[in-house]
Structure 1
Amino acid sequence: MATNKVKQIHSFGQSIWLDFIDREIISSGKLKKLIDEEGIRGVTSNPAIFEKAITSSSDYDADITELAKTTESNEEIFFGLAVSDIQKATALFDGVYNEGVVGEDGYVSLEVSPFLALDTEKTAKQAVELWQKVDRKNVMIKIPGTKPGLEAIRQSIAKGININVTLLFGLPRYKEVTEAYISGLEDHLAAGHSISHISSVASFFLSRIDVLVDPLLDEKGLGDLKGEVAIASAKKAYEIYKKVFSGERWEKLAAKGAKPQRLLWASTSSKNPAFKDTKYVEALIGPDTVDTVPWETVIAFADHGIAANTLEQGLDKATETLERLKAAGIDIDALTQQLEDEGIEKFNKPFEKLLQAIEDQKNKK
């Protein structure tokens, strides 16, 4: 019998999560099948995924009508719908959550409102609200890794909430996120609480980096680096991860049961048709990491993906790639900040569309 290629990735220490959720995949048994047969170990969602789920089917119509009887807020109605889906999905991952190292995997992520991405206080407040509403040990609340998000991340970890830090593009910001996580753990521990149950991932977005950078490379005579900058950045992020989650400060927390905040590769579908559709998955397989993969990419990898321990291969080349960018006058830090700013807008627009769809459904006679 042929080896399952997606499951094979787990043998190299990486967990594959599905970057998709809707009611049909939960109720039809498809998600359970992906867990059992493909080794899917978690789920991530975002405003764009929920917008597609809610606007492309009638599965949510009756609940929208019912929820509208008790609130006029379309955002409250949305989170009512989303919390229900997240709770059902977390139940399916109970077995994964309790397997091996308890709490290593089996998480389902729910994001705070993208409208709050630049508001520390409101983000932290909503993270608590969503954590309490879902009320499942294997939910992760997603908070964007913006500058204002950093303090919200620290405060949330300090309250014992599992956090998926999303929208990371640059190495300086990633370093700040690891600091927010570790500081949050120290705060929770100092308040007299156990930290062994807290889990977090830092979601580093990939293909969008290359979409922005690649057109600049030809202008600078660096055409050979097309499709390589995001992967190089991810490999350097992993170097930071290994350095941060070792040493005296971390060992004190680890001795109390703390889990490292794993890097999660996001935006892993190839946006450039010239690239292999499994390119970003294949390039970054390695220990103690997560890759959240769209449905289509899961299918593609199961068919023709190559599973190998690649994450720490070519580290010198990764360093050289980023040095060549700098020498050519390409400011990768400025570009990744641009991507963060654009990323907020890219989640705002589908969220606005989603809220309008709820409004339209409420007004149906």
Structure 2
Amino acid sequence: MSNPLQRLGEVGQAVWLDFIDRKILATGGLKKLIAEDGLKGVTSNPSIFEKAIGEGSDYDDRLRAFLAQGKVEAAEVYERLAIADIQDAADQLRPVHDAMNGADGFVSLEVSPYLALDTRATVTEARRLWNAVDRPNLMVKVPGTEAGVAAIRTLVGEGINVNVTLLFALEAYLAVAEAHIAGLEAFKAGGGDAGKVAGVASFFVSRIDAQIDRKIDQRVAAGGRDAERLQALRGKVAVANAKMAYREYLRLIETPRWKVLATAGARPQRLLWASTGTKDPAYSDVLYVESLIGPDTVNTMPPKTMDAFRDHGRVALTLTQDVPEAERVLAEAERLGLDLPGVTRDLVTDGVKLFSDSADKLLDAVRAKLGRRSAG
């Protein structure tokens, strides 16, 4: 049987890895995934770097080198470590990027989560990271907050590739899609080649079900006449929400406004399914891969999910299947008062805080490592 991960690529969905560390870069692990699984991208975030740098000894030699140079400021040391890893990953994915004429082969690096509510600071930081990494297959990650939307329009308008993160609600996706299109129009109007700018909109999935299912379980435990109807929605709302987003994507790329850009060579901002590791052991470990397969999309998987899909994943074009059922699920969730809009608003706030907390832990881990290296 063919590799299910490879088959995703054959039906138009790119497989990205939601993980990076020095070991996978230095030992050929990333190159193996590219060669054997058709991997086309890598995403990173503060949580991933916190585990990579804080745990184990893979970064110790470089930490010693920084200390020898007199560099002991944790933020500067982290950024240098992260940029070096991102550059290495970008270089290893560069053959993919070149073979696909810039359509894929991207590595994402996050703007500081401390800046999520500040448009001007986000733009400044994104420009600085873009120049520091200096790779055409970099995507700068910007959160899809209200402040982030304005930053996205500016950055795309300057020809910077953007990965929009922390998208949960359909309305938020439409806002960032508009910002991306407006940015491309501005870049083109200024004489830029719209075909040279890429972007993805990272729609988070499993976190929605985790929150909705918690509400369902609480309501069922409390008793009441709607228990059976509520139970029937467990594990279904997030996928239904994602299918609505994909339907809007398909509508957007058929608009006259988009077709003007497409004629100029512009590529659409692909939907990327993030948070695709299954959190509830009652569900299939490949639920958020098998249920979200469609052309011109990306699924960024943690290593465990990628291994599971390679082993027993099934490939079918599911994103456009049972769309009326997805509409029914969302309508039923609304009738039963599960408040998906409120859940998605809270998830954005919680997501910004979680990434900020991870950044705090990351810098603490770097400080601890620097301290131990100095003491040693």
Which range, TM-score by smaller chain? over 0.9
| Corresponding letter in the other structure for 2:246 | Y
* Cα offset, 1:239, TM superposition: 0.7
1:271 aligns with 2:279: yes
Identify the match of residue 265 of structure 2 among 238, 250, 257: 257
Q: Deviations over 1:144-171 (max 9, x none)?
A: 1111111111111011000000111111
Answer whether contact 1:270 1:276 (CA < 8 A) is retained.
Answer: yes
* Cα offset, 1:320, TM superposition: 0.6
| Corresponding letter in the other structure for 1:277 | D
- What RMSD in Å do the two structures reach over aligned CA positions? 1.2
User: Higher mean Cα deviation, 113-122 or 322-331?
Assistant: 322-331
Answer whether contact 1:144 1:166 (CA < 8 A) is retained.
Answer: yes
Q: Deviations over 1:247-273 (max 9, x none)?
A: 111111111111100000000010000
| SS of aligned partner of 1:93 | helix
Alignment partners' CA distance in 2, 1:243 and 1:17: 25
| SS of aligned partner of 1:98 | helix
Q: Which residue of 2 aligns with 1:118?
A: 117
1:97 aligns with 2:105: no
Answer whether contact 2:54 2:369 (CA < 8 A) is retained.
Answer: no
* Cα offset, 1:61, TM superposition: 2.4
* Cα offset, 1:326, TM superposition: 1.2
User: Higher mean Cα deviation, 53-62 or 144-153?
Assistant: 53-62
| SS of aligned partner of 2:109 | strand
| Residues 1:61 and 1:129: Cα distance change in structure 2 (over 3 Å) | same
Answer whether contact 2:20 2:48 (CA < 8 A) is retained.
Answer: yes
Q: How does 1:163-312 map to 2 (within 5 A)?
A: 163-218=162-217, 219=219, 220-221=226-227, 222-312=230-320
Alignment partners' CA distance in 1, 2:90 and 2:196: 16
Answer whether contact 2:233 2:333 (CA < 8 A) is retained.
Answer: no
Alignment partners' CA distance in 2, 1:144 and 1:70: 34
* Cα offset, 1:59, TM superposition: 1.9
- In structure 1, stretches of 5+ residues that fail to align are none
User: Higher mean Cα deviation, 241-250 or 225-234?
Assistant: 241-250
Alignment partners' CA distance in 2, 1:158 and 1:66: 38
| SS of aligned partner of 2:318 | coil
Q: Which residue of 2 aligns with 1:362?
A: 370
| Corresponding letter in the other structure for 2:280 | N
Alignment partners' CA distance in 2, 1:313 and 1:296: 26
* Cα offset, 1:362, TM superposition: 2.2
Q: Deviations over 1:18-76 (max 9, x none)?
A: 00000100110111001000111110011000000001122222323433546554222
Answer whether contact 1:118 1:149 (CA < 8 A) is retained.
Answer: yes
Answer whether contact 2:212 2:237 (CA < 8 A) is retained.
Answer: yes
Q: Deviations over 1:64-122 (max 9, x none)?
A: 3433546554222211111100111111111211224x111100110011111111111
| Corresponding letter in the other structure for 1:308 | A
Q: Which residue of 1 aligns with 2:223?
A: none
Q: Which residue of 2 aligns with 1:160?
A: 159
1:12 aligns with 2:20: no
Q: Which residue of 2 aligns with 1:346?
A: 354
Alignment partners' CA distance in 1, 2:57 and 2:216: 45
**TM-score normalized by the length of structure 1:** 0.97
Alignment partners' CA distance in 1, 2:315 and 2:202: 21
Alignment partners' CA distance in 2, 1:11 and 1:361: 44
| Corresponding letter in the other structure for 2:91 | A
Answer whether contact 1:46 1:111 (CA < 8 A) is retained.
Answer: yes
Q: Which residue of 1 aligns with 2:88?
A: 88
- In structure 2, stretches of 5+ residues that fail to align are 220-225
| Residues 1:116 and 1:72: Cα distance change in structure 2 (over 3 Å) | farther
| SS of aligned partner of 1:160 | coil
Alignment partners' CA distance in 2, 1:87 and 1:180: 27
User: Higher mean Cα deviation, 66-75 or 210-219?
Assistant: 66-75
* Cα offset, 1:215, TM superposition: 2.3
Answer whether contact 2:107 2:138 (CA < 8 A) is retained.
Answer: yes
Alignment partners' CA distance in 1, 2:130 and 2:63: 22
- Between the aligned residues of both structures, percent identity stands at 47
